[in-house]
Amino acid sequence: MDRKLPPRSDFTGAPERRISSTPPPAAAPTRRRSDPVKDNVKNAPELVPHAPQPFRSKQGFVRQLLARLPQLIPSSCALCGRSNPHALCEPCQRQFFTRNFRRCVQCAVPIAMSARDIRCGDCSKNKPAFDATVVACDYVAPADQLVLALKFGGDLRLPPLLAQLLHDAFLRGPMPGAGVQLVMPTMLTAVPLGRQRLQERGFNQALEIARPLAGLLDIPLVPQLVERLRETQAQSGLPLAMRQRNMRKAFIVPYLAMDHVKGRHVGIVDDVMTTGETLNEVAATLKRFGAKRVTNLVFARTLPT
């Protein structure tokens, strides 16, 4: 088998980008680990079969059934439950996703409208490994329900909605009215789950958001750009001092992806940013392997306590 990577230009060819960024949600999460380029480009047409594929496992059957559920039930707003043709009704969108305050360009924590610096105090003192962060909302009620319904309820109509809200936030920028525009990453990837957690859940919620988001931003998605080397404890259950140590050396850029990271601007997608330690470690790993810039695209951010 030819294990050589094609030239880097294969990542930026328009037809491949289109195909790779919008594979159907039902088939992708159970895909085998493999060559990032082959998964991204060559296998993409196989993921869009013309005829239904036989179910390979019970899990595959459940996944396909879940993916079809949104088409079988009447549509309602994911937040207030009112009958609505879209996943989120207009009043809910206005109330919870159009706030106009500023956020730190680097870590997305809310900052005062009068602040002169585009960074918060923490980022000015202690620069994180990532260069920018964009979030769609704070991780508070009721928006947190969208994350919980996706992560633990397997609601697969949500990723396109979360991606749309994140896309809108990216275009709006972290500092409305200040003329600060974020630089578009060259490619997207998602924070990888550990193998055990992926098996338990059946899908990676970050990757599910990254797929439609790559389509909306019109940039390629490379799912295997970063690999998780070991399981880590949930950051939320650890004291602050332990969190950094918990994440240390948790990720690596696999051999086949190394060439594609060098000199590039990578966008990392995740569902929730809590302390930022996980995203910081992913960014530090990518930079160690030569990435020029790293931007986090995260649906919701936990407010600092």
- Residue 90 vs 231, nearer CB to Zn ion: 90
- Residue 78 vs 156, nearer CB to Zn ion: 78
- Euclidean distance between CA atoms 80 and 64, whole angstroms: 26
- Residue 19 vs 109, nearer CB to Zn ion: 109
DSSP secondary structure string, the chain? ---PPPPGGGGT-HHHHHHHH---TTTGGGPPP--HHIIIIITGGGGS-SSPPPP-SHHHHHHHHHHHHHHHS--B-TTT--B-SSSS-HHHHHHHH----EE-TTT--EE-TT-SSSS-HHHHHS--SSSEEEEEEES-TTTHHHHHHHHTT--TTHHHHHHHHHHHHHHH-SSTTTT--PPPPSEEEEPPPPHHHHHHHSS-HHHHHHHHHHHHHT--B-TTSSEE-S----GGGS-HHHHHHHHTT-EE--GGGHHHHTT-EEEEEEEEESSSHHHHHHHHHHHHTT-SEEEEEEEEEPPP-
- Residue 92 vs 166, nearer CB to Zn ion: 92
| In the complex, least distance from residue 189 CB atom to Zn ion, rounded to whole angstroms | 22
| In the complex, least distance from residue 269 CB atom to Zn ion, rounded to whole angstroms | 19
| In the complex, least distance from residue 103 CB atom to Zn ion, rounded to whole angstroms | 8
Contact 289, 266 (CB under 8 A): no
Distances from the Cα of 196 to the Cα of 41, 119, 192, 203, 226, angstroms: 27, 37, 12, 11, 17
| In the complex, least distance from residue 123 CB atom to Zn ion, rounded to whole angstroms | 3
- Residue 89 vs 294, nearer CB to Zn ion: 89
Contact 37, 6 (CB under 8 A): yes
- Residue 46 vs 117, nearer CB to Zn ion: 117
Q: How is residue 214 written in tokens?
A: 């790559």
- Residue 79 vs 294, nearer CB to Zn ion: 79
| In the complex, least distance from residue 121 CB atom to Zn ion, rounded to whole angstroms | 8
Binding site for Zn ion (CB under 5 A): 77, 79-80, 89, 92, 104, 106-107, 120, 123
| In the complex, least distance from residue 148 CB atom to Zn ion, rounded to whole angstroms | 16
Contact 176, 228 (CB under 8 A): no
- Residue 40 vs 280, nearer CB to Zn ion: 280
